[in-house]
């Protein structure tokens, strides 16, 4: 995600003496799309945050950081959760807050150890709602095997928050030899996904005010460290792991393609999309490949290792419906090209902004 | 902060079948006081969050956690920042977000290494304002010697946030033999503060809408790891360090008194209170001992070490006005009792809620 994601060159715009460093798609203000995990999010980081942070910013400042302390390699990650509504089919902001950060650590190949939890509560929020969310958070932490070791609580006046926002940060440990990062994707790699896609996004949208539609889709929120551990236990050389959350599988594959300077050839018919997700996407005018997941991973694996990694995934409860969805190629570097059901091809772009706001 | 901070027993109240686990001071909803760092904050943690988190919560879940990974002792801390206004005399939410977490690590005796930064941005916020805050954050991180290694950005719809909220989490390393925590306070300990108190709270209040008053008070926000390092270099056995933020010196001393089961005898006249803070407090009806600081520390030191620790503090730019403000006693365990200017005594209580909302 560190490469230039900007739109075709746009002139810098001077606003009251301040020269906006970003290609402006709209007014010189934050719009919902800046939080979508797509191209606009990348522009905000690349053109505004990183230059502003200056020398203090680590060049790699991504979803998680890996660094060594006294010879021990640690992974460190953070996410804030602003999902709306707070409770949705299959989970709540409590489970997301644990699993989101646990999964960012697991995608670096780390064993998650501890989490911090920081709540921003809006004045007037029912204590019963907070207790429900906190219980879900505690249960998810126990299930993921992480301890909640430190925290913070802030309160903002009514009308300046939205019930409950949660930030978690987490620390994990990397075993020797583990080196999993987007830059390691290489032509020939087999690209897999651990199961059905688009489930979380549709579960949340199904209960959004004004959008209610009947569906049996439950969020797939789950901690993936156990699945990653089973994959590592095969002894395979895992090149890249990534959980396709905001922006879905499309955003994840584009980010990896850009980071590694490779192309991804995607088999559209191989994507495991449940019928209920396909139906709901039809109703909402969405493409499942852009819809968020909270309990799935995408893996890039050297071809010699692909079969045993796929077998290990399928033997794990969270990978039972794992599938090969494509390959890593030398052609069209930085791009994802899908072969469609009709035998044609189409470019699967990085989404610009946000199809589904506040999905996590 | 783990002991029982509850009010005299209040009956549990059943709200629509949900039995509130907390002594209710008001409706069964969040009020601003729950974010004040005083008794109500303690009740929320003690009676709601910790039971809800269950087995996943570490017993010590405080301002920062210390734990060992492969023999290396790490400190881990998090804070969210919701200060209003975002920019105030002497700083902004950017400096606070760095110094607040750096100081929580330093108060455990740790050398801060890395920070995560997570922004929750409100739709419509000016990019120029975000850039200004991010620059302040980057400059503060460089000054504190920490790297910004990972981050997150979320956007919430207009009217559901307040411009910019920032969460930071940080990791630090503890040298061998360092053991600094509230439970180590012991009768006989000399209690010191590193400089003028009440400065941050008054600086922020001075520019609050509807409260503007002329003052030259600038926030004292500063990273304290260097000062702590200078204190450790004396070889002294530092028992407790704590930065008196929300709830001021009064809340900090009460928390330490309760954690260690000791009493604190405070010399009111020894508290370094600048004239401008004293004047503003008079105007606002506040007691400086309850007003927040963002660049000060309170230290509990064995009497044999007190002189050299005080000298080391005074030799450091951030401790030039350090002062002995009291002693740790066996009497009145869990309580702070001040000797007043007139020679009388008064109990300095843990504040209930919040005198100054959204001060950090």
Q: Is A333 exposed, middle or buried (0-12, 13-18, 19+ CB in 10 A)?
A: middle
pLDDT the model gives residue A13: 56
pLDDT the model gives residue A278: 94
Q: Is B26 exposed, middle or buried (0-12, 13-18, 19+ CB in 10 A)?
A: exposed
Q: Where are the alpha helices (DSSP H) in B16-145?
A: 39-43, 50-53, 93-106, 127-144
Same domain, A215 and A327: yes
Please state, in angstroms and rounded to a whole number, the distance separating the CA atoms of residues B77 and B63: 6
Same domain, A112 and A92: yes
Domains contained in chain B, number: 3
Same domain, A154 and A228: no
Residue identified by tokens 């150890």 is A113
ipTM of the complex: 0.94
* Residue B311 pLDDT greater than 60, yes or no: yes
Stretch A130-156: mean pLDDT: 97
* Residue B312 pLDDT greater than 50, yes or no: yes
Stretch A167-172: mean pLDDT: 98
CB-based contacts of A78, cutoff 8 Å, min separation 6: A101, A167, A168, A169, A170, B116, B117, B118, B150, B151, B152, B167, B169
pLDDT the model gives residue A357: 86
By the 8 A CB rule, do B166 and B119 touch? yes
Q: Is residue A117 part of a domain?
A: yes
* Residue B324 pLDDT greater than 80, yes or no: yes
Residue identified by tokens 């906190």 is A134
Please state, in angstroms and rounded to a whole number, the distance separating the CA atoms of residues B354 and B360: 12
Q: Is residue B3 part of a domain?
A: no
pLDDT the model gives residue A27: 72
| DSSP 8-class letter at A127 | H
Grade residue B9 by pLDDT with cuts at 50, 70 and 90: very low
pLDDT-above-70 percentage for chain B: 91
Please state, in angstroms and rounded to a whole number, the distance separating the CA atoms of residues A46 and A52: 10
Q: Is residue B339 part of a domain?
A: yes
* Residue B10 pLDDT greater than 50, yes or no: no
Q: Is B279 exposed, middle or buried (0-12, 13-18, 19+ CB in 10 A)?
A: middle
Q: What is the pLDDT of residues A290-316, one digit of tens each?
A: 999 999 999 999 999 999 999 999 999
Q: What is the pLDDT of residues A71-96, one digit of tens each?
A: 999 999 999 999 999 999 999 999 99
How many other CB atoms are found less than 10 A from the CB of residue B312? 19
* Residue A3 pLDDT greater than 60, yes or no: no
Strand partners, A336: A264
Q: What is the pLDDT of residues A4-35, one digit of tens each?
A: 434 444 445 566 667 777 776 667 899 999 99
What residues of B are in contact with residue A44 (Cβ under 8 Å)?
Answer: 153
Same domain, A193 and A167: no
- For A121, list phi and psi in degrees, rounded to 5: -105, 140
By the 8 A CB rule, do B266 and B338 touch? yes
Among the partner-chain residues A58, A167, A357, the one whose CB lies closest to the CB of B147 is: A58
Q: Is residue B358 part of a domain?
A: no
pLDDT the model gives residue B15: 60
Grade residue A209 by pLDDT with cuts at 50, 70 and 90: low
Nearest CA in chain B to A111: B69
By the 8 A CB rule, do B100 and B294 touch? yes
Same domain, B134 and B251: no
Among the partner-chain residues B58, B114, B142, the one whose CB lies closest to the CB of A65 is: B114
Q: Is residue A165 part of a domain?
A: yes
pLDDT the model gives residue B60: 67
Same domain, A222 and A296: yes
Please state, in angstroms and rounded to a whole number, the distance separating the CA atoms of residues B312 and B229: 10
Say yes or no for a CB contact (<8 Å) between B161 and A162.
yes
Same domain, A20 and A139: no
pLDDT the model gives residue B215: 67
Say yes or no for a CB contact (<8 Å) between A72 and B70.
yes
When comparing pLDDT for A119 and B15, which is higher?
A119
Please state, in angstroms and rounded to a whole number, the distance separating the CA atoms of residues A121 and A154: 6
Same domain, A211 and A316: yes
Q: Is residue B1 part of a domain?
A: no
Among the partner-chain residues B16, B48, B128, the one whose CB lies closest to the CB of A131 is: B48
State both tokens at A42.
């990348």
Say yes or no for a CB contact (<8 Å) between B30 and A125.
yes
Stretch A343-356: mean pLDDT: 88
Among the partner-chain residues A18, A30, A52, the one whose CB lies closest to the CB of B121 is: A30
Closest CA to B317 of B206, B234, B227, B209: B227
Grade residue B316 by pLDDT with cuts at 50, 70 and 90: very high
Residue identified by tokens 């600086």 is B203
DSSP per-residue string spanning A254-323: HHHHHHHT-EEEEEGGGS---HHHHHHHHHHT--GGGS--SS--EEEE-GGGHHHHHHHHHTSGGGTT-E
By the 8 A CB rule, do B262 and B72 touch? no
By the 8 A CB rule, do B113 and B146 touch? yes
* Residue A1 pLDDT greater than 50, yes or no: no
Say yes or no for a CB contact (<8 Å) between B80 and A128.
no
Say yes or no for a CB contact (<8 Å) between B114 and A358.
no
Domain of A114, CATH number, reads 3.30.1330.10
* Residue B3 pLDDT greater than 80, yes or no: no
Q: Is residue B337 part of a domain?
A: yes
* Residue A208 pLDDT greater than 60, yes or no: yes
Stretch B25-36: mean pLDDT: 86
Q: What is the pLDDT of residues B65-76, one digit of tens each?
A: 999 999 999 999
Q: How far is CA B131 from the centre of its chain?
A: 26
pLDDT the model gives residue B21: 77
Say yes or no for a CB contact (<8 Å) between A116 and B76.
yes
Task: Give the domain-ending residue among B123, B145, B174.
Answer: B174
Crossing angle of helices A225-232 and A306-314, in 10° steps, is 140
Q: Is residue A353 part of a domain?
A: no
What residues of A are in contact with residue B169 (Cβ under 8 Å)?
Answer: 76, 78, 116, 118, 167, 169
Task: Give the domain-ending residue among A174, A200, A222.
Answer: A174
Torsion of Cα atoms, B328 then B333 then B336 then B339, to 10°? -70
Length of chain B: 360
Same domain, B207 and B159: no
Grade residue B20 by pLDDT with cuts at 50, 70 and 90: confident
pLDDT the model gives residue A216: 78
Q: What is the pLDDT of residues B193-233, one digit of tens each?
A: 999 999 999 999 988 866 666 667 999 999 999 999 999 99
Torsion of Cα atoms, B134 then B140 then B145 then B146, to 10°? -40
CB-based contacts of A208, cutoff 8 Å, min separation 6: A84, A85
Q: What is the pLDDT of residues B278-291, one digit of tens each?
A: 999 998 899 999 99
pLDDT the model gives residue B12: 52
What residues of B are in contact with residue A121 (Cβ under 8 Å)?
Answer: 30, 34-35
What residues of A are in contact with residue B352 (Cβ under 8 Å)?
Answer: none
Please state, in angstroms and rounded to a whole number, the distance separating the CA atoms of residues B59 and B62: 9
Stretch A319-343: mean pLDDT: 97
Same domain, A96 and A237: no
Task: Give the domain-ending residue among A174, A199, A225.
Answer: A174
What residues of A are in contact with residue B124 (Cβ under 8 Å)?
Answer: 29-30
Q: Is A285 exposed, middle or buried (0-12, 13-18, 19+ CB in 10 A)?
A: exposed
Stretch A184-212: mean pLDDT: 91
Geometric angle at alpha carbon A188, from A186 and A194, rounded to 5°:
85
Same domain, B196 and B255: yes
The mean of the pLDDT values for chain A is: 92
By the 8 A CB rule, do B251 and B182 touch? no
State both tokens at A184.
């390691």
Grade residue B1 by pLDDT with cuts at 50, 70 and 90: very low
The mean of the pLDDT values for chain B is: 92
Crossing angle of helices B306-314 and B225-232, in 10° steps, is 140
Same domain, B51 and B72: no
Residue identified by tokens 């929320």 is B44
Domain of B320, CATH number, reads 3.90.650.10
Q: How far is CA A295 from the centre of its chain?
A: 10
What residues of B are in contact with residue A111 (Cβ under 8 Å)?
Answer: none
Give the CA radius of gyration of chain B. 20
When comparing pLDDT for A238 and B19, which is higher?
A238
State both tokens at B1.
């902060």
* Residue B192 pLDDT greater than 90, yes or no: yes
Helix, strand, or coil (residue A115): strand
Mutation for testing the B interface, residue in A49, A115, A140 having most B CBs under 10 Å: A49
Domain enclosing residue B248, as ranges: 182-347
When comparing pLDDT for A344 and A18, which is higher?
A344
């Amino acid at each position: 995600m560190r490469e230039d994601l900007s739109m075709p060159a746009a002139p810098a715009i001077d606003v009251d003496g301040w020269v906006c460093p970003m290609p402006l798609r709209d007014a010189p203000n934050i719009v919902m799309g800046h939080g979508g995990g797509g191209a606009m999010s990348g522009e905000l980081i690349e053109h505004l945050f990183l230059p502003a942070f200056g020398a203090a910013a680590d060049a790699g400042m991504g979803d998680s950081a890996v660094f060594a302390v006294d010879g021990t390699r640690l992974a460190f990650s953070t996410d804030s959760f602003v999902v709306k509504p707070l409770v949705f089919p299959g989970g709540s902001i409590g489970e997301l807050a644990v699993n989101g950060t646990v999964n960012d650590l697991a995608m670096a190949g780390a064993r998650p150890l501890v989490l911090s939890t920081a709540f921003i509560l809006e004045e007037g929020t029912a204590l019963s709602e907070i207790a429900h969310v906190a219980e879900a958070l505690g249960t998810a932490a126990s299930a993921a095997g992480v301890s909640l070791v430190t925290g913070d609580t802030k309160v903002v006046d009514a009308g300046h928050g939205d019930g409950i926002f949660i930030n978690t940060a987490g620390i994990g440990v990397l075993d020797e030899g583990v080196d999993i990062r987007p830059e390691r994707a290489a032509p020939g790699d087999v690209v897999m996904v651990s199961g059905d896609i688009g489930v979380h996004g549709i579960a949340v949208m199904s209960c959004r005010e004004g959008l209610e539609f009947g569906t049996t889709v439950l969020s797939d929120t789950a901690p993936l460290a156990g699945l990653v551990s089973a994959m590592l236990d095969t002894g395979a050389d895992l090149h890249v792991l990534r959980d396709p959350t905001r922006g879905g599988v499309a955003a994840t594959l584009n980010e990896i393609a850009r980071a590694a300077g490779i192309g991804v050839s995607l088999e559209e018919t191989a994507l495991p999309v449940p019928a209920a997700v396909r139906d709901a996407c039809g109703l909402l005018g969405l493409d499942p490949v852009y819809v968020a997941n909270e309990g799935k991973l995408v893996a890039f694996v050297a071809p010699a290792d692909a079969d045993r990694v796929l077998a290990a995934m399928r033997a794990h409860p969270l990978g039972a419906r794992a599938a090969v969805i494509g390959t890593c190629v030398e052609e069209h570097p930085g791009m994802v090209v899908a072969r469609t059901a009709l035998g044609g091809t189409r470019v699967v772009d990085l989404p610009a902004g946000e199809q589904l706001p506040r999905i996590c």
